[in-house]
Amino acid sequence: MRTKFQLWVESKKKELEKVHIKMEHVRHKNPDESSIPDPSTGVIYESECCLGQVTVWESRQMEYEVVNIATGEMILWEYIERLPAEPDFNEILEKFFLVLQRGLKP
């Protein structure tokens, strides 16, 4: 699941740059995942008004959140217990990117 997410993230990078959204992969201090029971992949997104983070775990869980930079207020938080085997990340994260760009609660 994480590989699918990583491929999707890379495929969206240029499209997001066109609307002034920067992205950065979350880097873990210990890159050896053999001792982690449920490794994750995380990406941080930044727009002019918000910071957002999306995390996908090997177990197919997903969490995303958006924080308003000016106020520090969390304006969106979602947790998905189990992603479908073939997730449509465009659809799943549509609300995330709208909130990230607008800086307003959905």
- pLDDT reported for residue 33: 72
Domain map (residue ranges) of the chain = 2-23+38-102
Task: Compute φ and ψ for 48, nearest 5 degrees.
Answer: -65, -25
Fill in the amino acid letter for 97.
F
- pLDDT reported for residue 30: 63
- pLDDT reported for residue 29: 63
Successive 10-residue mean pLDDT values, the chain, 106 residues? 94 95 82 79 96 96 97 97 96 97 92
pTM, two decimals, is 0.92
Number of Cβ within 10 Å of residue 89's Cβ equals 19
Helix/strand/coil (H, E, C) string of the chain?
CHHHHHHHHHHHHHHHHHCCCEEEECCCCCCCHHHCCCCEEEEEEECCCEEEEEEEECCCCEEEEEEECCCCCEEEEEEECCCCCCCCHHHHCHHHHHHHHHCCCC
Using the structure block, give the residue that is written with the tokens 């001792």: 35
Q: Are 75 and 49 in contact (CB under 8 A)?
A: no
- pLDDT reported for residue 65: 98
- pLDDT reported for residue 57: 94
